[in-house]
Structure 1
Amino acid sequence: MAPPSVGEEWRLKFGSNEAAKGWGELCAEAPGNARRCFEVLRADPLSYADRDRQHRLRGRLATATVGGRTYPQWEYEVTAGGRVRYLVDEPRRTVHLVYASTRHPKDTE
């Protein structure tokens, strides 16, 4: 997915094959927006600077599990319908992309 992180950058990893496939589709459909998402997640995946585009999920979606560990779950709006969901492992400065799609996830409707 990404070159190795350098300095203060966060490490990005795919949490599933489906997320990797969806990321590829997002990059093909909206390369500029996907690149901005990548840069934001690398720099500050916990930012509240643009709450309309990037925010922590709430309720039953507030956390999710990858690799047997539970983490806070966030979402980044790449396009009007396209979303990336990710889990934040702060101690390891790692972002696990667990959902990426050109379509809005149905579980928030």
Structure 2
Amino acid sequence: MSGRGAEIPRPRPWTVRAADRQAFVGWQRLLSAVPDNLDRAWTAMTSDPRHVDRRQHPLKGQLGVVKLGGAALEQWQFEVTGAGRIWYAIDDGNRTLWITQAGTGHPKQTDTRGR
């Protein structure tokens, strides 16, 4: 094994998966619209899924937990653009981040305008 040209994997990587087709389609829309922002989001989420700052934070209340595969998982949000969001659930046991929602528009569930 020479090592030259070999891909060097990230230590202790997180796997990122779409929870459903809608999340996958939303991810693809973000990829088409803002690939650089999405790359930064990917790096931030997979580097430290629980890092809290103005763009990355846990969802609150009922949105803070989501059931996937029978397990209750923490649900977080990453603000990709002013309106674009990624919601993801953290599965520590499998080191997997489940994309539960993604899109270029602000999610209606967290919109406080008009309430």
**Could you state the TM-score of these two structures normalised by the residue count of structure 1?**
0.89
Report if the CA contact (8 A) 1:83-1:104 is conserved.
Answer: yes
Structure 1 residue aligned with 2:42, among 29, 32, 38?
A: 38
Q: How many residues align?
A: 103
Distance in 2 (CA, whole Å) between partners of 1:6 and 1:84 is 22
Q: 1:44: how far off?
A: 1.2
Structure 2 residue aligned with 1:7, among 11, 19, 23?
A: 11
Map of 1:107 onto structure 2: 109
Q: Which deviations, in whole Å up to 9, do the C-alpha atoms of 1:20-64 show, x marking residues without a partner?
A: 00000001111110011111122111112xx21000011111101
**Structure 2: where are the runs of 5+ without partners?**
1-8
Distance in 1 (CA, whole Å) between partners of 2:73 and 2:61 is 14
Distance in 2 (CA, whole Å) between partners of 1:6 and 1:16 is 26
**Structure 1: where are the runs of 5+ without partners?**
none
Map of 2:4 onto structure 1: none
Distance in 1 (CA, whole Å) between partners of 2:21 and 2:69 is 14
Distance in 2 (CA, whole Å) between partners of 1:104 and 1:67 is 26
Amino-acid identity (%): 34
Q: 1:91: how far off?
A: 2.0
Distance in 2 (CA, whole Å) between partners of 1:91 and 1:67 is 13
Structure having the higher Rg: 2
Map of 1:24 onto structure 2: 28
Q: Does 2:99 align with 1:97? A: yes
Q: 1:7: how far off?
A: 2.2
**Could you state the TM-score of these two structures normalised by the residue count of structure 2?**
0.84
The amino acid of 1:40's aligned partner reads A
